[in-house]
């Protein structure tokens, strides 16, 4: 029996930065050899180009750059074997590939067989499917390869077993949604027992536009037990020691002190996804700072806390933009939260800006009643000011809309929707409250209690409350979840016990506001169906509400 050191390289690649990603692979391999005496270092899916590369894959120069990257890796004097993912064109077909580099030679390659083409995935646009198992010898262990979606299907694992594999390496770029990690562990436990083999599961970490990759790499033994699990949301090189008998079926990973990361509560998992998604969007797009409108309401309060946790207080500016209807409590709460978090805080009254707009529009508005146009104009005054600050200082503007508001259009195009990133885009309003309470429970009450406890209001009209225009959020969010995430019809939702008039009204609001959402900033995806890559509905359509 011998011990083999396997390192799960849970790294954070940058899409399109092939040179930088190759440098990260080289550095990670050398560090794994030095710190862990690594025999095998496993990297995530499409590491060399980053995931998802989208239409960068259609550029002919991608092939040239990947070929150069593979040659550069082969020129390194690695003592460890490395397993790494990359795109590769062979015989006119393009494949999502994983390769094995051993002693300067690429000794094995495997093409992904199951190409996901649902929700946020679009791989059939770019790749052809592989058809066969690949098994290579690693320290006398017949070892098979697979890529991400393959592990969710029977055939690749059964092919590997039929080819004599005793160990399976599955590399991933698996994005986060609620409860995803437990789904992975349960699935891999089943697959390990099904194939009577140990499995190494390596996932990347980091934010890429609306997607967040949460890491959580792990190994399972043939009995389905998970002795080693890397932390969520943490980039690093995580050791898993394997006891094996060469040329036999006995391959077993060993549990050690602190080899299994402690579990995180559901709210913590979601909050960290929002923090990582915001941090990587800002940093990978080379913004130095962010700015947001701090209204004294709960959405901007939570967004501010996320921004500070992601970037540090010195990189965040909060702007209060009061108007005639802004309450003194809102002003006080905004100033107090800014003080507690230590961010730069400014107040810019918008009465003068609003009056100038109204003066310019006097002829066009003459004889027409006061309505939503005047309310939206207030929001657009604020959007103009924030975008001006962004242009002058180079700060990224964070919008603060939540999923409930975006779903029903309770937001102003070119007003509070004006900006570059929305951390709460996929967070329902009821969860906003839960996350605010969770953030305050972390040891410092950064969000004033009055912000959490008082009824939500846009404060665009006297004594305005959100529930004057919308159903209670507890009801609204349930209807939205059924309609958006589970694709239930209006009648099915009514049959589940909801008021018919309310359901039909909410669904109509969702349907007619698709044009707004198409123009909204990108934001972190935390559900199984967020607005953006997940849900693609036509703006112009004649679909009737009902069954």
Catalytic residues: 45, 112, 148
Kindly report the length of the chain.
547
**Which among 121, 109, 246, 129 is positioned nearest to 169, based on CA atoms?**
109
Rounded to whole angstroms, how far apart are CA atoms 466 and 194? 52
Which burial class, exposed, middle or buried, applies to 10 when counting CB atoms under 10 A from its CB (0-12, 13-18, 19+)?
buried
User: First-to-last CA distance in the chain?
Assistant: 63
Rounded to whole angstroms, how far apart are CA atoms 508 and 494? 14
**Which among 400, 402, 174, 179 is positioned nearest to 270, based on CA atoms?**
179
Paired residues of 93 in beta bridges? 90
Residues ≥6 apart with Cβ < 8 Å to 450 = 329, 333
**DSSP character for 469?**
T
Q: Is the dihedral of CA 83, 87, 90, 94 positive or negative?
A: positive
Rounded to whole angstroms, how far apart are CA atoms 161 and 142? 10
Distance from chain centroid for Cα 176:
6
Rounded to whole angstroms, how far apart are CA atoms 547 and 526? 28
Rounded to whole angstroms, how far apart are CA atoms 114 and 111? 9
**DSSP character for 126?**
T
């Amino acid at each position: 029996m011998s011990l083999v050191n396997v390192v799960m390289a849970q790294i954070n690649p940058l899409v399109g930065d092939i040179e930088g990603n190759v440098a990260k692979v080289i550095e990670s391999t050398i560090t794994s050899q030095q710190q862990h005496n690594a025999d095998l270092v496993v990297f995530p899916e499409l590491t060399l180009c980053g995931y998802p590369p989208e239409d960068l894959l259609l550029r002919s120069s991608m092939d040239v750059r990947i070929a150069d990257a593979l040659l550069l890796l082969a020129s390194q004097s690695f003592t460890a074997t490395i397993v790494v993912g990359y795109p590769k064109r062979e015989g006119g077909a393009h494949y999502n590939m994983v390769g094995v580099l051993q002693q300067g030679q690429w000794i094995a390659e495997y093409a992904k067989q199951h190409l996901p083409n649902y929700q946020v995935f679009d791989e059939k646009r770019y790749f052809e499917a592989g058809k066969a198992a690949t098994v290579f010898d690693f320290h006398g262990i017949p070892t098979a390869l697979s890529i991400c979606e393959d592990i969710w299907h029977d055939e690749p694992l059964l092919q590997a077993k039929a080819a004599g594999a005793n160990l399976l390496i599955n590399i991933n770029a698996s994005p986060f949604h609620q409860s995803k990690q437990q789904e992975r562990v349960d699935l891999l436990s089943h697959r390990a027992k099904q194939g009577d083999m140990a499995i190494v599961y390596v996932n990347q970490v980091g934010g890429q536009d609306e997607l967040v990759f949460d890491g959580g790499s792990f190994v399972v033994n043939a009995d389905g037990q998970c002795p080693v699990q890397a932390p969520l949301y943490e980039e690093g090189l995580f050791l898993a020691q394997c006891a094996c008998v060469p040329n036999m079926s006995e391959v077993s990973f060993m549990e050690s002190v602190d080899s299994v990361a402690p579990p995180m509560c559901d709210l913590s998992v979601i909050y960290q996804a929002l923090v990582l998604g915001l941090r990587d969007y800002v940093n990978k797009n080379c913004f130095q700072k962010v700015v947001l409108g701090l209204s004294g309401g709960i959405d901007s309060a939570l967004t501010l806390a996320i921004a500070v946790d992601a970037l540090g207080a010195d990189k965040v500016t909060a702007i209060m933009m009061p108007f005639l209807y802004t309450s003194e409590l809102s002003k006080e709460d905004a100033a107090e939260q800014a003080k507690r978090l230590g961010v730069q805080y400014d107040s810019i009254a918008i009465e003068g800006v609003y009056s100038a707009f109204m003066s310019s529009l006097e002829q066009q508005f003459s004889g027409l009643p006061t309505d939503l146009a005047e309310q939206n104009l207030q929001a657009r005054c604020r959007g103009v000011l924030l975008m001006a600050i962004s242009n002058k200082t180079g700060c990224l503007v964070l919008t603060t809309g939540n999923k409930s508001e975006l779903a029903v259009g309770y937001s102003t195009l070119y007003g509070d929707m004006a900006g570059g990133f929305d951390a709460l885009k996929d967070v329902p309003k009821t969860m906003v409250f839960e996350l605010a309470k969770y953030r305050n429970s972390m040891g410092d009450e950064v969000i004033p209690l009055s912000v959490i406890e008082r009824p939500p209001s846009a404060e665009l009209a006297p004594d305005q409350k959100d529930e004057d225009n919308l159903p209670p959020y507890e009801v609204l969010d349930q209807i939205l979840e059924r309609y958006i995430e589970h694709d239930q019809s209006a009648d099915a939702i009514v049959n589940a016990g909801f008021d018919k008039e309310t359901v039909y009204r909410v669904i109509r609001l969702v349907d007619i506001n698709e044009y707004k959402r198409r123009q909204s900033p990108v934001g972190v995806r935390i559900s199984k169906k967020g607005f953006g890559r997940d849900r693609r509905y036509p703006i112009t359509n004649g679909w009737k509400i009902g069954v």
